[in-house]
């Protein structure tokens, strides 16, 4: 089971690099889609159909919105180049990667093995979730009953982001410059 | 943005009702089958996005009203907060599943699991309207360059 996961992860990293480095914004967005759809397949392999459904519809809709927005404005990458020397940037990135890896190795040692994802807290949810809430989909029981605060926070974040987009791009009340 | 060809418009007329129905189904059965408010709400938004893309933004401007999308979004988040506050009104904790505590309903049936399906409907309204509001703000009603 590990081999297709590693292959998909390599594909995702390649897609991220192409999305960052390409000069054409449209091809950048398409290679961004590689990451999302590969993640959908990874969720399906790991037996998480809830996450796979959400991931595939979110990825499709965000790609459509981004492509429509790019086709209406400009297709060229207009980011200005930094004046700092490239050696400094690469050095800072490498140092960060080394520090991150060292801390990750220490932290990952305390996690359970791959394929044994049932933590002590999740044991209670799996055993008693159905009898307490009556929901046959355990994921719904967890995100809307046991961990309802998280979902409330997510929905509020989405509301705030939409309020921001509508406010920045409004027509009424703008000053003419 | 101009509309697409007659082929795309005809296929959209056939497909859009089924996509909307699938989204409503996923929202309603979120506590029984995989899916839920987020996935179903995005499918509902995708149905409207498909119609706007196929028929073009000029034709959409006469039919689409931005206040409807933002109003439904605010209504959805308000409904969700109200469902969470019901526990406090009843005298228990915030986000307490008050209906399931009395009666969890018949398992594996549509009317079960207390406030979970109600929360799913609220999230579905909120997410669908939110993504459609972002889409029409960025694509249909964009700010003119000389402003």
Of B97, B123, B134, the CB nearest to A133: B97
Spell out which residues of chain B touch residue A140, defining contact as CB-CB under 8 Å. Answer: 30-31, 36, 113, 116, 120
Give pLDDT, residue B25.
92
Cβ <8 Å between B138 and A169: yes
- Dihedral, CA atoms, B85, B86, B90, B92, nearest 10 degrees? -50
Give pLDDT, residue A137.
82
Q: Is B141 near chain A, with CB under 8 Å? A: yes
State the CB neighbour count (10 A cutoff) for residue B48. 21
Q: Is B124 near chain A, with CB under 8 Å? A: no
Give pLDDT, residue B70.
86
> Which of A63, A158, A165 best tests the B interface by mutation, with the highest count of B CBs <10 A?
A158
- Among A118-132, A149-163, B109-123, which range has the highest average pLDDT? A149-163
Give pLDDT, residue B145.
43
The model's pLDDT over A68-83, given as tens digits with 9 standing for 90+, comes to: 878 877 777 776 666 6
- Dihedral, CA atoms, B3, B4, B10, B15, nearest 10 degrees? -90
The model's pLDDT over B90-112, given as tens digits with 9 standing for 90+, comes to: 878 887 877 766 776 777 777 77
Give the residue extent of every domain in chain A: 1-76
Asked whether the predicted pLDDT for residue A29 surpasses 50, the reply is: yes
Paired with B112 in beta bridges are: B105
Give pLDDT, residue B3.
74
Q: Using 50, 70 and 90 to split pLDDT, how confident is the model at B144?
A: very low
**Residue B40 resides in a domain:** yes
Q: What is the CA radius of gyration of chain B?
A: 19
Distance from the Cα of B63 to chain A's closest Cα (Å) equals 18
Give pLDDT, residue A149.
87
**Residue B146 resides in a domain:** no
The model's pLDDT over B17-60, given as tens digits with 9 standing for 90+, comes to: 999 999 999 998 888 888 888 889 999 999 998 888 888 877 77
* Residue B43 lies in domain: 6-140
Cβ <8 Å between B143 and A174: yes
How many structural domains does chain B have? 1
ipTM metric: 0.84
Q: Is B80 near chain A, with CB under 8 Å? A: yes
**Residue B145 resides in a domain:** no
Terminal-residue alpha carbon distance, chain A: 60
What would the two tokens of residue A63 be? Answer: 């790609």
Q: Number of A:B CB contacts under 8 A? A: 151
- Among A4-18, B102-116, B127-141, which range has the highest average pLDDT? A4-18
Give pLDDT, residue A48.
86
Give pLDDT, residue A9.
92
Closest residue, chain B, to A60 (C-alpha): B46
Give pLDDT, residue A69.
79
Of B30, B70, B126, the CB nearest to A137: B30
**Residue B106 resides in a domain:** yes
Share of chain A above pLDDT 70, in %: 89
Give pLDDT, residue B125.
92
Pick from B93, B52, B99, B44: which is nearest to B72 by CA? B44
Share of chain A above pLDDT 90, in %: 28
Spatial CB neighbours of B48, under 8 Å, sequence gap ≥ 6:
B132, B135
**What predicted TM-score, i.e. pTM, was given to this entire model?**
0.81
Closest residue, chain A, to B34 (C-alpha): A50
Asked whether the predicted pLDDT for residue B6 surpasses 80, the reply is: yes
Share of chain B above pLDDT 70, in %: 91
Burial of B65 from C-beta contacts in 10 A (0-12 / 13-18 / 19+):
exposed
The model's pLDDT over A104-129, given as tens digits with 9 standing for 90+, comes to: 999 888 877 776 666 677 788 888 87
Mean pLDDT of chain B: 83
């Amino acid at each position: 089971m590990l081999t297709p996961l590693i292959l998909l992860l390599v594909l995702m990293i390649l897609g991220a690099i192409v999305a960052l480095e390409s000069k054409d914004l449209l091809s950048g967005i398409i290679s961004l889609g590689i990451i999302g759809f590969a993640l959908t397949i990874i969720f399906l392999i790991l037996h998480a159909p809830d996450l796979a459904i959400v991931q595939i519809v979110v990825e499709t809709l965000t790609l459509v919105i981004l492509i429509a927005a790019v086709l209406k404005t400009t297709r060229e990458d207009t980011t200005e180049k930094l004046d700092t020397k490239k050696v400094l940037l690469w050095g800072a990135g490498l140092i960060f990667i080394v520090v991150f890896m060292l801390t990750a190795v220490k932290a990952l040692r305390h996690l359970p093995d791959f394929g044994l994802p049932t933590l002590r807290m999740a044991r209670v949810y799996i055993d008693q979730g159905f009898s307490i809430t009556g929901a046959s989909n355990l994921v719904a029981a967890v995100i809307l009953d046991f961990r309802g605060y998280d979902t409330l926070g997510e929905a509020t974040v989405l509301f705030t982001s939409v309020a921001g987009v509508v406010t920045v791009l409004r027509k009424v009340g703008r000053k003419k410059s | 943005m101009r509309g697409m060809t007659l082929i795309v418009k005809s296929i959209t007329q056939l497909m859009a009702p089924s996509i909307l129905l699938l989204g409503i189904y996923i929202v309603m059965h979120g506590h029984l089958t995989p899916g839920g408010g987020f996935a179903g709400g995005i499918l509902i938004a995708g149905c409207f996005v498909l119609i706007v893309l196929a028929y073009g933004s000029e034709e959409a401007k006469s039919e689409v009203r931005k206040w409807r999308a933002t109003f439904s979004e605010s209504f959805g988040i308000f409904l969700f907060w109200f469902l969470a506050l019901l526990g406090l009104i009843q005298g228990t904790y915030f986000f307490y599943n008050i209906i399931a505590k009395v009666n969890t309903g018949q398992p594996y049936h549509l009317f079960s699991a207390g406030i979970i399906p109600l929360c799913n409907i609220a999230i579905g309204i909120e997410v669908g309207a939110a993504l459609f509001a972002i889409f029409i703000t960025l694509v249909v009603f964009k700010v003119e360059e000389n402003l």
